[in-house]
Amino acid sequence: MLNPRGLTSLLSRPSSGFLMPDKLRFYYPMPRFPSVSVTGGHCDLRCSHCNGHYLQHMPDVSSPKRLKEYCVKHEENDGVGLLISGGSTKNGRVPLEPFLDTIRWVKDNTGLIINLHTGMLNKIEAEEIAATGIDIVSVDLVGNQETLKRVYGLDADIGEYDDTLQNLVDGGANVAPHICAGLDFGEVKGEHRALELASTVNPETVVLISLIPTADTRMADVEAPSVDSIVGLVEEAVRVCKGSEISLGCMRSREYKTELEWRAIEAGVTRIAMASRSTEKRALDAGYEVMHLDGCCATPRKYDPRLLRV
């Protein structure tokens, strides 16, 4: 229900020209939609912004047996889904091939929603992944060749991201492009091209995240991208990715959390991962309907009934 105080807000247009929606989706992955790693804490790339740090906080499912057992137990404990991720090989791929039969088994024998983080994929790899029946493929997009080398240490061509997206779509997969603001040591460089690339496959959701300066990485002392730069990308995403929902993902600096969340909503974001209570209160006061969902912010709307908190 909309309250009277919100009518003015709902009918206004921010500077991007985006008509503000009357419904927001707030997603909370833990504990019912966790991230797990098929490589444990290991990563060959050791990228400049991560250095394997975030893998240390994920459950280790580094064998098909471990993954299967984890999924069965997770569903028994009221889990609704999970993000299957891991460290990258030196050619920019998460080594998923040994796990594909198990992932297919999980899809055939449980009700879990599966989001798969893959890295770059050729046509055959994309077809094999799509054939498992997974629900979402999260693809990190990099739009600048120098960034790819400087941050990831990859000699690959950025055109491989174009190919990866198209290969997945051709294979029948539901893709959710992820774009990191300030990936190149805090500077916005290839994000504009990445948004244009994302728009070519007309995804249901485009996820915007932002650099978190992280201890024990080459970017530990880098300044996080400004709120203005992130909001500018949100506005651009709304213009470029017409027909897609724009989500503010869980990987973002907490130093300006509430300011960013509200300004992102004003700019056109309709989904937020782990929104603050103050943002929720402000949204309700402004007349929005807020949905709380136990899951990943890239999850298709068709799964709302399964993720909705009651």
Q: Return phi, psi of residue 136, to 5°.
A: -145, 145
CA nearest to 195, candidates 148, 246, 229, 123: 246
Q: How far apart are CA 136 and CA 141, in angstroms?
A: 15
CATH number for the domain that contains residue 120: 3.20.20.70
What's the pLDDT score for residue 20?
52
Could you tell me the two tokens for 164? 């990866």
In a domain, 291, yes or no: no
- Does residue 281 lie in a domain region? no
User: Which residues span the domain enclosing 251?
Assistant: 32-270
DSSP E strand boundaries for 86-218: 113-117, 136-140, 175-181, 205-210
Spatial CB neighbours of 306, under 8 Å, sequence gap ≥ 6: 80, 111, 113
Measure the CA–CA gap between 293 and 299, rounded to whole angstroms: 10
* Burial class (CB within 10 angstroms; exposed 0-12, middle 13-18, buried 19+) of 300: middle
289-293/23-27 β-pairing: parallel
| Partners of 273 in beta bridges | 27
Q: Is residue 303 part of a domain?
A: no
Alpha helices by DSSP H, listed for 37-180, are: 64-76, 100-109, 123-130, 145-152, 159-170
In a domain, residue 285? The reply is: no
CA 16 to chain centre: 23
Residue at 13 is within a domain: no
Residue 281 CA to residue 215 CA, distance in Å, equals 32
Q: Are 267 and 231 in contact, with CB atoms under 8 Å apart? A: yes
Neighbours of 194 (CB within 10 A): 27
In sequence order, the β-bridge partners of residue 184 are: 187
Share in percent of the chain as helix, strand, coil (round to 5): 40, 15, 45
Residue-wise burial string across 115-146, b where 16 or more C-beta atoms lie within 10 A, e elsewhere: bbbbbbbeeebbbebbebebbbbbbbbbbbbe
Question: How far, in Å, CA of 20 to CA of 193, rounded?
Answer: 25
- Could you tell me if residue 133 is left (phi over 0), alpha (psi between -120 and 50 degrees) or otherwise beta? left
Per-residue pLDDT of the chain (310 residues; tens, 9 = 90+): 333 333 333 333 333 334 456 799 999 999 999 999 999 999 888 887 887 788 899 999 999 999 999 999 999 999 999 999 999 998 889 999 999 999 999 999 999 999 999 989 999 999 999 999 999 999 999 999 999 899 988 888 889 989 999 999 999 999 999 999 999 999 999 999 999 999 999 999 999 999 999 888 888 999 999 999 999 999 999 999 999 999 999 999 988 999 999 999 999 999 999 999 999 999 999 999 999 999 999 999 999 999 999 7
21 found inside a domain? no
Total domains in the chain come to 1
With 0-12 / 13-18 / 19 or more C-beta atoms within 10 angstroms meaning exposed / middle / buried, residue 163 is middle
pLDDT score at 22 = 79
Inside any domain, residue 41: yes
Cα gap 147→13, rounded to integer Å? 35
- Does 290 fall in a domain? no
